[in-house]
Amino acid sequence: MGERADEAPLLFWAEGPAVSAPPAAAEAGGSSGGGRRLGGGWSAAPWGGEGPEEAAGPPRAEAEEDQIVAVFVVTFDPRTGNMVEWCLPQDIDLEGVEFKSMASGSHKIQSDFIHQLEMPGHYSHLEAFYDDKKGVLPGSKGTSNSQQPVHWLPSIHRYMYPEMKITHPAGCMSQFIKFFGEQILVLWKFALLRKRILIFSPPPVGVVCYRVYCCCCLGNVSLPGLGGTVPESKPFFYVNVADIEMLETEVSYVACTTEKIFEEKRDLYDVYVDNQNVKTHHEHLQPLLKINNADKEKYRRLNDQRQMLMYSQEVGDDCNSCEEDLFILFFMEQNNRIFQTLMEVSASQDKTLTADHARGMGLDPQGDRSFLLDLLEVYGIDVMLVIDNPCCT
């Protein structure tokens, strides 16, 4: 089963369900040698105001996927640092994009995972691309449709996320499993608890962005009516010091950074991942860092299913399934089983959760006791845990 290099675009901007959003735009960039990165701002929604019902003009037609409001080139200057070298339209407000679109340290590498800019300093092809695809940001109520600022931070995350369609190279999940090994079960628990997970890595950031995506897949639950008040775990992908103010307001996310200084800013994250080292500064989360027997059994079952899938693909019995589907379904079924059991116990007369229940959910009654307690608190499930604390036995 061959593995592709991580050169595919991470995001395709696809038309998704209608979302209520202020005028916003997001960068779709690329990088090449010489420390330059190009990008385009995609319009988040083709209407003004708070929602589609307030849109002015004729009924909304099928929107084109590639409408953009700006194109730009960011470069690194040894004297002044990151800067916007060129953009269209020339009067667009791109404040902050020079940091958002170029990862710290990118000027030291030749390429990352998106490649578009072949001739630094020659932008006629970008100008033609903009003229072909340009859209206009909606104006404010009661005003003409004049040029508006592009709200990079934090609107890029809060309003573009529902419309993102994630893509990745083949082998992304396989690389994630091989890289973290049994540690993915530690990440799984933190993802299910909707913790703030920050992954550090020096550039290039492409492969690390794929780890953000894989990590978000660990917390999927498909049971209806569960956790209506529980925050979604937002995939922020790359963040840097320009995002600090935005991160201070977030309660659940997964992101990666090349900025080592983030490790010192403990108020911004709950879990810090440096290479294969997963750690937390919260004392009550420390027990979740330990791999227990139930975790090892889940990891063994995951690998067994992967081996069966690869064998069926080799002999030609299964040409439709892929490792991504297997990975996502494995953890979704595990999560569904946990919450189905918890909801059944919560609906029972005595509401008592026992060690047998824990084993039935695929958890270690002792090793996962603190995980269960946190899970009940985060999701507001009314259950009484009667599993003895191992420290008190």
pLDDT in tens, the chain (393 residues): 444 344 444 444 333 333 333 333 333 333 333 455 555 443 332 222 333 333 333 333 444 455 778 888 888 888 888 888 888 888 888 888 888 777 777 767 776 655 445 566 777 877 887 787 776 655 544 444 444 433 333 333 333 333 334 455 556 888 899 999 999 999 999 999 999 999 999 888 888 888 999 999 999 888 887 766 677 888 888 898 888 999 999 999 999 999 999 999 999 999 999 989 999 999 999 999 999 999 999 999 999 999 888 888 788 765 666 888 889 899 999 999 999 999 999 999 999 999 999 999 999 999 999 999 999 999 999 999 987 765 554
User: Which residue do the tokens 């040409």 mark?
Assistant: 319
At 34 the pLDDT is 43
At 228 the pLDDT is 65
At 101 the pLDDT is 77
* End-to-end CA, the chain: 49
Which has the closest alpha carbon to 40: 105, 110, 123, 121? 123
DSSP 175: H
Cα gap 37→206, rounded to integer Å: 14
At 117 the pLDDT is 54
At 80 the pLDDT is 82
Considering Cα of 49, then 68, then 157, then 105, what sign does the dihedral take? negative
> What's the token pair of residue 193?
């608890």
Q: Is 69 helix (H, G, I), strand (E, B) or coil?
A: strand
At 339 the pLDDT is 95
Find the helix packing angle between 183-192 and 293-314, rounded to 10°. 110
DSSP 212: H
Which has the closest alpha carbon to 239: 264, 266, 212? 212
Q: Rg (Cα) of the chain, in Å, rounded? A: 23
At 168 the pLDDT is 54
Cα gap 151→148, rounded to integer Å: 9
> What's the token pair of residue 28?
């779709």
Structural contact between residues 187 and 327, judged by C-beta atoms closer than 8 angstroms: no
At 367 the pLDDT is 95
Backbone angles phi, psi at 10, to 5 degrees: -75, -35
Cα gap 97→100, rounded to integer Å: 5
At 353 the pLDDT is 95
